[in-house]
Chain A
Amino acid sequence: GAVVSQHPSWVICKSGTSVKIECRSLDFQATTMFWYRQFPKQSLMLMATSNEGSKATYEQGVEKDKFLINHASLTLSTLTVTSAHPEDSSFYICSAPFVGGISYEQYFGPGTRLTVT
C-alpha cells in the first residue's frame, strides 16, 4: 500500500529553538497533507491542512506563526515548530490521502516525538 514517511522520528530540542519535521509520500503524489498533534492518552487533533503550491489552512486555535507549514512539492510537506517551548512537546503525525478510482484512503506517517527541554 501507499507509504508516508516522517523525519525525524524523534527529536529533543532546547526551549526557544526551532525544529523542522518532514513528511513525504513515497510512492504517490499528495496535493494535500494533514498535520496532527497527539498528547498522551488523547486522540489526534488536526492542526492544519497543507496544500501544495498554496498557503496552509490552520484549525482554530493553532498559531500560524508558530507552526510554519510549507508544501513545496507533491511529495513533501514540512512543519516547523518555531521558538519551541516545553508545552509544544507532543507526538506530531502527518497524513496524506491516497485516491485510487473510487476509493479513498488516508495514510499516516510513523510520527515524530518532540521533546522540548
Chain B
Amino acid sequence: GQNIDQPTEMTATEGAIVQINCTYQTSGFNGLFWYQQHAGEAPTFLSYNVLDGLEEKGRFSSFLSRSKGYSYLLLKELQMKDSASYLCAVRDSHGGYQKVTFGTGTKLQVIP
C-alpha cells in the first residue's frame, strides 16, 4: 500500500512564498503529481516529477527526492486566488498495472 502525508492546513500572506511538503512511502514509485483543487471543483494539474530535482513553472515549482520519499510544492508571489487545497499524488506501478493515489490534501489560505 501507500502512505502519503502532507500538512492539513497552512496560512500564508499575499505576496509571500509558501512551501507545501509531502512525504510518501510506496513500492513501484513512478512519479509524483501536484494538483490544485478549489472547493466544489475537480483538481487541476500543476506538476509531475519523476526524476530528482526541481521543476519550475512560473510561480509554481515542485521538487522531488526519491531516496527520501519527499516532495514539496513551492508557490511564489502568493495571490488571493491561490487559496485552495493542494493535493500530492503518487503514481505507483506494479507489473504493468498503474494507479495514482492521493494524499489528504493541504488547505492553503492566503490572507491579505
Chain A contact residues, CB within 8 Å of chain B: 1, 32, 34, 36, 42-46, 49, 57, 91, 93, 95, 97, 103-111
* CB contact between B100 and one of A57, A106, A109 (< 8 Å): that residue: A106
Q: Which of A44, A49, A57, A103 contacts B43 (CB 8 A)?
A: A44
Q: Is B70 an interface residue (CB 8 A)?
A: no
Q: Is B42 a contact of A109 with CB atoms below 8 Å?
A: yes
User: Bound state CA distance, A59 and B104, in angstroms?
Assistant: 17
B3 to chain A, nearest CB (A): 13
Q: Is the CB of A46 within 8 A of B99?
A: yes
Q: How far is the CA of A111 from the CA of B42 in the complex (A)?
A: 6
B86–chain A nearest beta-carbon distance, Å: 11
Residue of B nearest to A4 (CB): B42
| Pair A104/B31 contact, Cβ less than 8 Å | yes
Closest Cβ neighbor of A113 among chain B residues: B40
Q: A103 touching B48 by the CB < 8 A rule? A: yes
Q: Choose one: B41, B42, B45, B105; the contact of A43 (CB below 8 Å).
A: B105
| Cβ–Cβ contact B42 & A108, under 8 A | yes
List B6-27 residues whose CB lies under 8 Å from chain A. Answer: none
CB distance B91 to A43 under 8 Å? no
Q: By the criterion CB–CB under 8 Å, are A46 and B100 in contact? A: yes
| B98 to chain A: closest residue by CB | A32
Residues of A near B91 (CB, < 8 A) are 104, 106
